[in-house]
Structures are given as C-alpha cells and as structure tokens.
Amino acid sequence: MSQVIDIVSLYPKDMNIYGDSGNVLTIQRRLALYGYEPRVHAYNQGCDWPEHVDMILGGGGQDTGQKKIIDDFFQRADLLRSLAADGVPMLMICGLYQLFGEYFETVDGSRLDGIGVIGAYTVGQETRMIGNLTETSADFGKIIGYENHSGQTFLRDGVQPLGTVEQDGTGNNGEDHTEGARVHNVIGTYMHGSLLPKNPAIADFLIRTAVERRYGTFDPAAAGQTDAQRAALHRIDEIADRARRVAMSRPR
Ligand code: GLN
C-alpha cells in the first residue's frame, strides 16, 4: 500500500510569483522519488479544505494579491494556527510570510492583519529590496534565492530568523541582517527562486517532518523506493549543487 502525503498549495492563483509554484513541484517530485505518493490540493478562495493535511506551501504575491485573499485567509486562520501548533511543516514565501506574521502595513498605508503564527510585523517602504541573495542558516547551511519586496519585516524578541545576511539593505528589513523566520516547523522567508529546487536541505526537512508525523518514521526503503529512484534523486541533487554554485556567483 502506497504511503500518501497530502500537500496543500495555498492560494496558487493569487500568491505565486517568481516561480514559487516550483516549490510544489519539487516536493512532489522528491516525495515520489523517496517512494511516497504525493497528493497536491490547490486551495484557492472558496475551496473546500482537504480532509487530511501533511504539509502546506504558500507563495508570494503583489500587495493586490494579498488583499484579494485576505478575507478567505482569515476564515482559515484558526485552522492554520492549530495546524502550525500541531507541528505541520509549512513553507511561506514573501507575501504569505508577511501574512503569517502579525500585520502588514502596505506602502500606500492600508493595513492587512496577519494570523500571528510568526511573531513579526511588516511595514512597506518606498525602496524595494530586490536581488539575488545568499543567507547562512544554522539549520540548513547556505540558502540561495532571490528577494523582491517593499515590506520590511521585524521579528519580535526571541523569534528565530531562518538565517542571516551579510549585506545592508537585504533580508527581512535591510537593517538587522536577519532573513526569514522559523517557528516550530513553520518556515517563513523572502526567498523566491524557486527556493526548493536550489535548496534540497529545506525540501527534505519539510518531507521528513511530514512523513514522520503521518507514518512514524521516514524510511524510503520501506516505502518502496527503487534503485532507479535513488539514482534519479542523486542526479537531481547534483544539478541542484551546480545551480547553487552558479546562483551564488551571480551579482545582486
Ligand atoms: N507585496 C509584498 C511586498 O512587496 C510581497 C511581495 C512578494 O511576495 N514578492 O512587500
């Protein structure tokens, strides 16, 4: 019997820029190559919430996209908060990272309340932070991506950033050299790219956590992983490694 993993792709219609949907494809592909059966549920406004959820992936969006989803998002706030508290692994990029915080005050002065899973708040500024970015993370080593946001995010005391950046004018707010946040198994980050194809360590953290929560252990051999699948995964990792090196050498 195949072991299914249910993944929610959160608001792919309105919150999906700079290739963020590539994160969903990466999780699907890697899970399948580990021998599991990924089942992706695209959740947009007004959709039914799937019966079972092992992982949630959300992308970035324009301020207008964030405004479009906000009412529906609020109807799901309690559910998302309780899944986060239960340890469901989640990856929220940029626009949804901001909305997983406490609030986002946009550059035109409107305020969007967040759901407060991450102790952080965001304030829009005129100058956007744009460009390639490498950060250093205690949990995942070097993380490589691309940021583009007007929002400056400030973490509350004691909230763990996902990583640190060296250059002023980059990362969460351009000032304190933090980037992203990690709360329990929820990762928030400004890194587009897509993030996961170039950062398999994060993809595997999400996968391992989801599988262990649902099935007790992460055991590809017992899940039926074949030699050919193992070899394919190895090839993907080699390609990711090359892509990482190229990306790191790119100017901002
Ligand atoms: N609209 C938000 C900002 O500009 C998020 C942008 C994004 O998701 N790239 O800060």
- Binding residues for substrate are 128
Tell me the CA–centroid distance for residue 147 and ligand 1, in Å: 9
Q: Biggest alpha carbon distance in the chain?
A: 55
For residue 146, give the CATH number of its domain: 3.40.50.880
pLDDT tens track for 86-104: 999 999 999 999 999 999 9
Distances (CA, A) of 179 to 4, 105, 117, 171, 231: 33, 19, 17, 5, 34
Catalytic-residue membership of 94: yes
1: exposed, middle or buried (C-beta count within 10 Å: 0-12, 13-18, 19+)? exposed
pLDDT at position 143: 98
Catalytic-residue membership of 52: no
Domains identified in the chain, total number: 1
Determine the structural domain holding residue 227 and report its residue range: 4-249
| Phi/psi of residue 126, nearest 5 degrees | -65, -45
pLDDT at position 172: 98
pLDDT at position 181: 98
pLDDT at position 252: 86
Tell me the CA–centroid distance for residue 235 and ligand 1, in Å: 33
Ligand 1 shell residues, CB under 6 Å: 17, 60-63, 66, 94-95, 148-151
Residues of the chain with pLDDT under 70: none
Cβ distance 92 to 45 under 8 Å?
Answer: no
CA-proximal residue: ligand 1, atom 6 (nearest): 149
| pTM of the predicted protein model | 0.98
41, 52, 94, 234: the active-site residue: 94
